[in-house]
Structure formats: C-alpha cells, structure tokens
C-alpha cells in the first residue's frame, strides 16, 4: 500500500505543472506558494464549491469585487476599455488585494491563511490597473480593422481564449488551472510568441531588436529576473511588462529614451549617449515627456525623442553603415535604421511611413519647426521651416528633395559628385566620427562637436580666416582650389581670403525661395553682415551684379563676369 502511495505521489509531481495541484494557485496547506492555508488540505475550495456557489460563474466560491478600478489608457489604443467583468472579476477577487484569499462563500469564517490578504508583489495588481495589460474590451474584427498592428481574431492562436462575444479578459492569456509554462500562461514567452499572436508589428521579424543576441542590461530590468538572457529570446519583455509597468502607457519599463540609452551606451550597442553629449546634439533629456506616438508633427510641442526618428519594432541595421561614403550611395532614400517612422512630405502632408530621409527630418524642421537659439537671419527667411527651403518652387537649393538642376553651374563640384543627382540631410548633419565616414562612432545626427549637428567645421562669423579647416563642410563637396581660383565667381578669393567674408554671408546652406534671377546659386544674404539694398541679379552664366553694403563699402550695380 505504501508503494502505491509513493507511486501516486510521483505521478502527481510529474503532472503538477499542468494542473492546479502544486502550483501557486494551490492554496491548500500543501501548496508551494507563500500564500497558503494553515490547515485546509482541499485545493479547489478556494475558487469552487459544489453547493451554494455564486451565480456569477459556474460553482464560484468567492464574492465578486465591487471595486471601481483605474483602467489602462493610452493615446495609441483603438479599443474601448471598460471596467473588468466576467472572468477578470473572478481573478481580481484575489489579485486586487481587497478580498482575503481565505474568504470563501461556503464557510462562515475565513479559512486561516499564512497571509490574510494578498501580499504586496507581482500577484497583487491592486485596484490600479492602468499599469497592466488592458482587459475588459472586445477583441473583434472591427478592432483589428481600426488597428493594423492587431491580427484579426480569427487568425489568433486557438490557445488564446476570448469570451463568447470576443471579450478580452485575464483568461485570454492565463489558464488558471495550468502552470506548465509559468505564470499560468497559455503560450510561451520566448521570442515574443505570446505577445505576437495578437500583436502584428510590421517589420518586427527582421528588425535589429528581434534578431539581437546581445544581453539585456540589468539596469533595464530593475532587479527583475527575465526568463532568458538575450534580447532575441526576451523579445517584447526586454522593454515591456504586462503588469506593473513603470511607464503606464504602452507598458514600458521606463521612458522610451531611457530604454534606448540603457543599451546604446557603448557597452551593449553603439554609444549614442556619448555622441549626444557633444557640442550639439539631439538630446531627449533636454525636454522630457512631450513625445506621443499619436502626435501630429504639424502641431506637436517642441521636443526630441529617440522614437521620433526610430521605430524600435522595425529599425534594421544599415548595410552601408561600415562603408565610408555609403550614405551618399543611398541618396535621399532613408536608411534601414529609420524603417517604419512617420514624417512630413515635401508638400507638408504627414506620411505614416517615410520613404525619404528628409521626410523624417521634416517632422521637426518643417511647418512646426523646433526653435533654434543660434540662427542666421536671412534676406529671404523661412524662420526654421526647412521644408520651404527645399520646395519645388525655390530659386535654388541643394538637391535634397529634388534632383540637381544643372551641375555645370557649379564648376567647383568634385568630379565624383557630378553624376549624383541627390544628396541627403545626413551628408551634412552627421556624427563627424561616424563609421561610414571612416571613424569608429555611430552613424547619424545624434550629436556633433560642431554646431548644428554638422559633420564638419563651418564657420559663419564675419572676418573668419579662410582655411581648409574653417570651411571644411563646404570643401567636402566643393573643390577648394576651384573656389580660390575664381572659376565660378571672379571675386571668391577677394571675398573669402582678403575680405575674410564667410561663405554664409552670401550663401544659404539649404535653399532659398523668391526670384531665380535674384537668388540663384543659393544667394540669400546674412542680414548681420550684408546691409544696404541687398540686391543681387543673375545676368547670365557666371555673371551678375550686386547692390549692397558690406564691411562699410557700398556697391551700386557692381557687375562681374568671368
């Protein structure tokens, strides 16, 4: 008989994970969890009873909470989230911490427990459910049609259990009678299997984060032990938590920018923190908590955040990241690190998925420009609206949005650039030590030791001595010898060498609207240097006239020709 009992015990242990017995929901005195009865050996009694059960659910042995819960809310959810009901209310009769686990309907007195109420911790969701995965909404085709990042419910794994009318409750993800996978989950967590059965994130499968074998930094998990060591296996759990999220909206472990810099600190991934800390940079910490994924770039408050330019669910490694000059080969098309990011097109209309790099830049530098503290006041001024500076109607512009018009008008242009119809924002705005430029740092306009996130030095102060270093940005594309030998303008050397007038005194770096006859060749005078009437007239190839005052000298219809 003793042998049979031993065999039965071994059998129970062998199947314990896929039953309530010996799981944390086994609240009997023989249960393994910290919350258990002092003397009661029955297992099912804590939830079910064959007699005098609650009418709220089949054979339910607990009172239904009457609590009003604070529920999940997010600007990006398309679901109508109501107060918990149905199966969720049954779960919350223990897990909201308001009803003692030993309070059952078929006993006059509570069952004595090791903990009279649910102890503080992961099992105590409290009455504040705003930091937990939403429940109490209908998951149907109407919802998946509104939200393209949700699968249609008929395509969701059959192990996810919705209510009779598609209600999404706690039991959609959790099977309270089966703990085989841990946390009573219905599907494994590895590589985001559970999350991705409902969430259909475009670009995720091939994204850098989905494929990264790098470890998750301890600073990100705040003492929590993740089920796996690598990012590829933890997947969604690397940045999101289903219960008790520090940042409620979208259930993030921390602010989005803090999540990014936890890894991109030079130890696990590229050192973005160090680059942003240079003289100029896109620094998220300058203005916190203003970004919202649902924001309209045309009216959003000024801010900068990593996710303004990068979609962590879709960003991929740039195959040209290690090739010097690689960004030039891409022209205006965005690189894979900007995959899945919205922007503003050349006409000022928001686009959900930017195709060109400039569209991402126009999010903040177009019709709702971020205020700049150091800006040159120009004769034709768009007050920071870079989109207008690159418009199709401009008198002249660098070929960022539209192809170069006539490279023969710029004899100083380096030979290797003459066949290139486009350039990108990143040609001029980049980390000077970027890998694609032959350095060892990360690519992109995260930060620079030069003003305005420039890739090289560009002096704009009057009376600057001409040198290859002071105008290094211009000389990256324009041959210095051609400029100083007056091949396009017979007084270039007179102005920049003898007069020590900076390039920016006459030329704007992006583009200029107005009459083509008065603003060709990016002519748009700096008001702090050039005074008087400030008139320029293009009278033909390499010829023109100026009426202006510069360095105290007044020119009236001063003509030139090569």
The pLDDT value given to residue 328: 43
Per-residue pLDDT band at 176 (split at 50, 70, 90):
very high
Between the alpha carbon of residue 182 and those of residues 19, 139, 250, the distances in Å are 12, 25, 23
Closest by alpha carbon to 64, among 26, 91, 24, 97? 91
Cα(17)–Cα(19) distance, rounded to whole angstroms? Answer: 6
pLDDT (0 to 100) of residue 109: 94
Find the mean pLDDT for residues 332-348: 90
Q: Which pLDDT value is given to residue 222?
A: 80
Structure pTM? 0.90
CA distance 203 to 205: 6
Q: Which ranges of 395-542 does DSSP label H, i.e. alpha helix?
A: 425-428, 472-475, 480-484, 492-493, 516-519
Express each pLDDT in 429-439 by its tens digit.
999 999 989 89
**In this predicted model, which residue has the larger pLDDT, 447 or 323?**
447
149-168: pLDDT as tens digits: 999 999 999 999 999 999 99
DSSP string covering 352-419: SS-SBHHHHHHHHHSSSPPP-SS---BSS--TT-HHHHT-TT-SEE-TTSS--S-GGG-TTB-GGGTT
Say if residue 13's pLDDT is above 50: no
Angle at 35 between CA 175 and CA 246, to 5 degrees: 70
Distance CA 260, CA 312 (A): 9
The end-to-end CA distance of the chain, in Å, is 113
Helices within 193-249 (DSSP H only): 193-196, 208-211, 218-221, 231-234
Q: Is the pLDDT of residue 9 over 60?
A: no
Mean pLDDT of 520-544: 96
Backbone angles phi, psi at 224, to 5 degrees: -70, 140
Residue 329's pLDDT is 37
Partnered with residue 343 across adjacent β-strands are 351
pLDDT at 40 over 50: yes
Residues whose CB falls within 8 Å of the CB of residue 475, separated by 6 or more in sequence, listed in order: 468, 483
Spatial separation of the C-alpha atoms in residues 259 and 305, rounded to whole Å: 11
Tens of pLDDT, residue by residue over 483-500, are 999 999 999 999 999 999
HEC per residue, 44-55: HHHCECCCCCEC
CA-based torsion, 478, 480, 482, 483: positive or negative: positive
* Size of the chain, expressed as the number of residues it contains: 562
Whole-number average pLDDT of the chain: 91
How many alpha carbons lie under 13 Å from residue 101 in its C-beta half-sphere? 26
pLDDT of residue 324: 44
Radius of gyration for the chain, computed over Cα atoms and rounded to the nearest angstrom = 32
Q: By 3-state DSSP, what share of the chain in percent is helix, strand and coil, each rounded to 5?
A: 25, 15, 60
- Identify any residues that bridge with 199 across adjacent strands, giving them in sequence order: 150
- Based on the number of CB atoms within 10 Å of its own CB, is 438 exposed (0-12), middle (13-18) or buried (19 or more)? exposed
**Residue 5: CB atoms within 10 Å:** 9
The pLDDT assigned to 320 comes to 61
| Tokens at 447, concatenated | 């930060």
């Amino acid at each position: 008989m003793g042998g049979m009992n031993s065999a039965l015990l071994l059998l129970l242990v062998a199947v314990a994970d896929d039953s309530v017995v010996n799981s944390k929901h086994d609240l009997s005195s023989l249960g393994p969890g910290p919350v258990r009865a002092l003397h009661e050996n029955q297992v099912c009694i804590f939830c079910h009873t064959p007699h005098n059960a609650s009418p709220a659910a089949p054979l339910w042995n607990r009172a239904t909470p009457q609590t009003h819960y604070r529920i999940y809310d997010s600007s990006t959810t398309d679901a109508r989230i109501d107060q918990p009901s149905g199966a969720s209310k049954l779960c919350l009769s223990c897990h909201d911490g308001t009803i003692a686990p030993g309070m059952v309907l078929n006993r006059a007195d509570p069952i004595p427990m090791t903990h009279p109420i649910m102890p503080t911790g992961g099992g105590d969701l409290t009455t504040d459910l705003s930091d937990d995965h939403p429940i109490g909404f209908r998951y149907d085709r109407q919802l998946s049609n509104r939200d393209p990042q949700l699968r249609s419910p008929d395509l969701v794994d059959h192990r996810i259990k919705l209510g009779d009318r598609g209600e999404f409750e706690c039991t959609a993800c959790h099977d309270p009678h089966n703990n085989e996978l841990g946390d009573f989950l219905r599907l494994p967590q590895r590589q985001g299997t559970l999350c991705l059965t409902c969430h259909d994130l475009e670009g995720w499968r091939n994204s850098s984060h989905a494929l990264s074998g790098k470890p998750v930094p301890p600073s990100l998990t705040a003492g929590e032990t993740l089920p796996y060591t690598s990012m590829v296996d933890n997947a969604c759990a690397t940045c999101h938590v289903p219960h008790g999220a520090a940042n409620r909206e979208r259930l993030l472990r921390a602010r989005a920018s803090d999540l990014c810099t936890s890894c991109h600190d030079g130890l696990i991934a590229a050192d973005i923190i160090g680059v942003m800390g240079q003289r100029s940079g896109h620094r998220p910490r300058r203005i916190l908590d203003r970004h919202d994924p649902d924001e309209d770039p045309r009216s959003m408050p000024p801010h900068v955040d990593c996710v303004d330019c990068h979609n962590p669910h879709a960003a991929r490694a740039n195959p040209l990241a290690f090739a010097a000059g690689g960004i030039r080969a891409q022209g205006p098309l965005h690189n894979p690190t900007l995959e899945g990011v919205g922007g503003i097109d050349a006409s000022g209309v928001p686009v959900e998925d930017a195709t060109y790099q400039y569209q991402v830049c126009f999010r903040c530098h177009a019709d709702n420009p971020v205020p700049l503290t150091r800006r040159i006041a120009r004769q034709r001024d768009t007050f920071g609206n870079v989109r207008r500076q690159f418009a199709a109607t401009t008198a002249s512009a660098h070929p960022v949005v539209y192809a170069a018009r006539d490279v023969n008008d710029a004899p100083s242009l380096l030979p290797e650039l003459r066949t290139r119809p486009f350039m990108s924002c990143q040609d001029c705005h980049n980390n000077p030590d970027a890998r694609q430029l032959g350095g060892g740092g990360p690519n992109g306009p995260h930060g620079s030791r030069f003003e305005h996130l420039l890739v090289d030095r560009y002096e704009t102060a009057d009376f600057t001595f001409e040198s290859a270093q002071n105008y290094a940005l211009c000389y990256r594309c324009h041959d210095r010898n051609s400029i100083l030998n007056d091949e396009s303008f017979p007084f270039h050397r007179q102005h920049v060498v003898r007069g020590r007038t900076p390039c920016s005194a006459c030329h704007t770096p992006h583009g200029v609207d107005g009459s083509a006859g008065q603003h060709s060749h990016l002519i748009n005078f700096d008001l702090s240097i050039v005074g008087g009437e400030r008139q320029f007239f293009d009278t033909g190839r390499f010829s023109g006239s100026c009426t202006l005052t510069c360095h105290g000298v007044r020119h009236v219809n001063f003509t030139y020709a090569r």
